[in-house]
Structure 1
Amino acid sequence: MASTERRHVLITFARSFLTLNLARRMAAAGHKVTVVDSMAVGVSRYSNAVSAFHRVSPPKYKPQEYCRELAAIVEREKVDIVIPIHEETDILAMMAGLFPPSCDLFLSPFEVEDTLHNKLKYQQALVDHGISTLEFREISSAEDAVAASEEFTTPFAIKQAYSRGSQKVYKAYPGDDLSYLTYDPTNPWIAQEWLEGDRYCTYSVCRDGEMYAHATYPVSYAIGGSSCLTFEHVDHPGIVDWSRRLVKEFEFTGHLGLDFIDHPDRGLVTIECNPRGTSGIMMFTDEERVDRAFFGENTDLITPPKGRTTMIGAGMALYGWRKSSYPDNTFRKFFAEMRKADDVIASKRDPKPGVMMPIAYAGILRDARRYHVGLDGGFMHDHEWDGRPI
């Protein structure tokens, strides 16, 4: 496949800053970009990089309609590749047979996607593949909760098997009363050892078990210490090798994000895996031609430029100044980071997404009220998948 070939690329979740940045990279390389979303107003819709926008059904609530609508767009507009961004990936993987063979779905078979998405299945898969990981156990009942509280000898995290950064993670201690937990048979809890150490996140573009692009960034400014607001690529050969092994073990195709702890005695362990787009895509520039990685065209691993720091400017303004966003945070540190980092939304060459941000956020706030969730939850609520059959 020639690297100069122009493709028609369809990217989902148009409201996302990830989609906006990927659309810009694709368009800069000469590809035609279409974006879709269930919201009428999303920042990517107004980008110069985007040739067409389509409003579609919400994948969480109308999954079959969503997939059929995307398949119709693909057929009608001769789309070459569909790149899902968020958890609609799982839904598309389940209904991949709806799409014409001529279109490349940038994802893995559903069984692989689900194993990596489900936090319990992922940890068990690491054990099955002989990869060292954190101590964990399933909590599906009040009896399991009592057993976990008795068996752990150190602090541990409690979160649902299908969950994401916008949702609650409880920190528990041996002997704690866990009667506050409620139970969903399709979405159990995982109790997982709470290990301190240097924290890193990754983003990789993979195809057929090979890694074609990769970024590693330490957890710096973040909402509640988990959802990163600033991003700076660092060299960490150990993380690159670890990630490559996982991608090879699962013959994975798609985006891949991993959350790591680098412990001085135990080395690298992953907290969880996100087989979908993550914020690392926002560190690449046009010059790296990361578009090639999505088609498996490059031979050398594509990485972001060293020393470049990017940020979600709106997120930093809302959350970055708070004490919870950075260890020993001060206004001086916060303003220094704001001056150093490039905003992933604002662009002199592509100003409309930034101009439309207030209107886009108004729509997200409306959905947050509708679904009775916070701003971060409202952002992604109708694109989540929690293991329920469709």
Structure 2
Amino acid sequence: MRTVLLTLGRLPKALDLARGFAAIGWRVVVAEPFVRHLCGSSRSVAKSIRVPPPAEGKAAYLHALAEVVRSEQVELVLPVSEETMHVAHLPPLLPPGVRVLTMPPGILLRLHHKGGFCEFAAAHGLDVPESFPLGDPRAAALAASGRVVVKPVHGCSGRGVLRLRAGNPLPEADPAVPALVQRFIEGREFSTCTLAHRGRVLATTVYRGTLMSGSVAVAFERVGQAAIEDWVRRFAAAANWSGFLAFDIIVDAEGRPWGLECNPRTTSGLHFFEAADLARAILDPEGAPPPRHRPETRLQQFWSCLTETQLSLFRDRSAFRTNARTLLTTRDVCWQARDPWPLLAMPWTTWPIIRMAAQRRVPFGEVATLDVGWYD
């Protein structure tokens, strides 16, 4: 039996990938820094192996993954989330013939850097807001002229993001945490998730958050946005992209999409794809049919939505009614009757992250990948 290695198991995106590969007959192994994790309770996962987090040492993390590949006879390494930037450095440590679904580190890290993404997109004729490094005189001039957003160049899940009105003072630049000052674009915000191969888009999901936990969507709706899909196709072609690619995009009042930042990895939009179709397309990008979308256009992460609904009872009664309706009428991303434990056991399997979020008094999504992110 052929084996795929998922390099993170704590997130629902990993569960979709595990189920997709198991459905087409592959053996699924998960490498995960936490002792217990969401995918570990799934019947689709044959084995979970604990590895050190890259936050404790990048070299140790990569060598642990390489040992898993050798010992489990892995043919495909599939990164799931923020650990992608580390996994991109794995190929030189692997036996010949093992495929890693990432782009090379040079282009991957350039686009993961929010400033590098803006420079790349603008150079290829794609609309992005004016953006300058915090501490650059041009950033101060931009902030004086209108609303801006200040964000860490390697942040994710909304961590460290500031929105400032025109003329408000910018924070002091911190060389240890470089940041970007970006012109604020008024409009509707969307996210995307794309699978591409050699610059050709195989499938894209465009979606928007319908219930937020902090700045992270925990319920979402798939929508049709032809202008956004065209923007994504142009970007993928310019980068000659293979693998997963995602963006946060604002559509202004004239219907013009502006790319805010790039996530060179999966996002929650992956949940809208048929999991087995996605696995087939990853394995045979030139021969398999394009992945189909699931029939559901609205999905949620039940436990996070339950928490936000309970909190809204005390904060905003009108929001509570809307949230409760979403909770009761929207399908959970993890639920399968033939594989129920990932959803039912989630409070136990994700307890390490829940505890960390409670200690820091921040939403779950803001700490879920702290130990595997790339911050250089």
Residue number in structure 2 paired with 1:42: 37
State the SS of the aligned residue for 1:380.
coil
CA 1:27–1:282 in 2, change beyond 3 Å: closer, same or farther? same
Q: CA deviation at 1:354?
A: 2.3
Residue number in structure 2 paired with 1:210: 200
Question: Do 1:197 and 1:262's aligned partners in 2 also have CA atoms closer than 8 Å?
Answer: yes
CA 1:61–1:194 in 2, change beyond 3 Å: closer, same or farther? same
Residue number in structure 2 paired with 1:269: 258
Write the mapping of 1:229-378 to structure 2, written as runs, cut at 5 A: 229-265=218-254, 267-286=256-275, 289-295=277-283, 296-298=285-287, 300-320=289-309, 330-368=319-357, 375-378=364-367
1:65 is aligned to 2:60: yes
1:19 aligned to which of 14, 20, 24? 14
Q: Distance in 2 between matches of 1:205 and 1:329?
A: 38
Q: CA deviation at 1:363?
A: 1.6
Q: Which amino acid aligns with 2:163?
A: K
Q: Distance in 1 between matches of 2:242 and 2:362?
A: 32
2:121 aligned to which of 122, 126, 131? 126
1:198-239 Cα deviation digits (max 9, x unpaired): 221111112222222221112321223x31112232222222
> Which consecutive residues of structure 1, in runs of 5 or more, have no partner in the other structure?
1-5
Q: Which amino acid aligns with 2:182?
A: Q
Q: Distance in 2 between matches of 1:372 and 1:340?
A: 29
1:238-297 Cα deviation digits (max 9, x unpaired): 2222111111111112211111111122611111110011101112235x6111221214
Question: Do 2:29 and 2:45's aligned partners in 1 also have CA atoms closer than 8 Å?
Answer: yes
Q: Distance in 2 between matches of 1:266 and 1:235?
A: 13
Please provide the CA RMSD for this pair: 2.5
Question: Do 2:38 and 2:350's aligned partners in 1 also have CA atoms closer than 8 Å?
Answer: no
> Which consecutive residues of structure 2, in runs of 5 or more, have no partner in the other structure?
none
Q: CA deviation at 1:101?
A: 2.4
CA 1:268–1:374 in 2, change beyond 3 Å: closer, same or farther? closer
Q: Distance in 1 between matches of 2:317 and 2:226?
A: 29
Q: CA deviation at 1:67?
A: 0.8
Q: Which amino acid aligns with 2:26?
A: H
Residue number in structure 2 paired with 1:161: 153
Question: Do 1:33 and 1:51's aligned partners in 2 also have CA atoms closer than 8 Å?
Answer: yes
State the SS of the aligned residue for 1:332.
helix
Q: Distance in 2 between matches of 1:198 and 1:73?
A: 43
CA 1:249–1:323 in 2, change beyond 3 Å: closer, same or farther? farther
Question: Do 2:223 and 2:297's aligned partners in 1 also have CA atoms closer than 8 Å?
Answer: no
Q: Which amino acid aligns with 1:200?
A: F
Corresponding residue pairs, total: 374
1:42-73 Cα deviation digits (max 9, x unpaired): 01011000011100010122211111111111
Q: CA deviation at 1:87?
A: 2.0
Write the mapping of 1:48-197 to structure 2, written as runs, cut at 5 A: 48-140=43-135, 146-150=140-144, 153-179=145-171, 181-185=172-176, 187-197=177-187
Q: CA deviation at 1:166?
A: 4.3
1:143-170 Cα deviation digits (max 9, x unpaired): 67644433xx221100011000140211
Q: Distance in 1 between matches of 2:347 and 2:225?
A: 37
State the SS of the aligned residue for 2:369.
helix
Question: Do 1:232 and 1:283's aligned partners in 2 also have CA atoms closer than 8 Å?
Answer: no
1:87-115 Cα deviation digits (max 9, x unpaired): 22111223431122211000001111111
Q: Distance in 2 between matches of 1:54 and 1:233?
A: 34
Percent identity of the aligned residues? 26
Q: CA deviation at 1:172?
A: 0.9
Q: Which amino acid aligns with 2:166?
A: P
State the SS of the aligned residue for 1:289.
helix
CA 1:377–1:165 in 2, change beyond 3 Å: closer, same or farther? closer
1:327-365 Cα deviation digits (max 9, x unpaired): 995222212212221111232211222232122232223
Q: CA deviation at 1:368?
A: 4.7
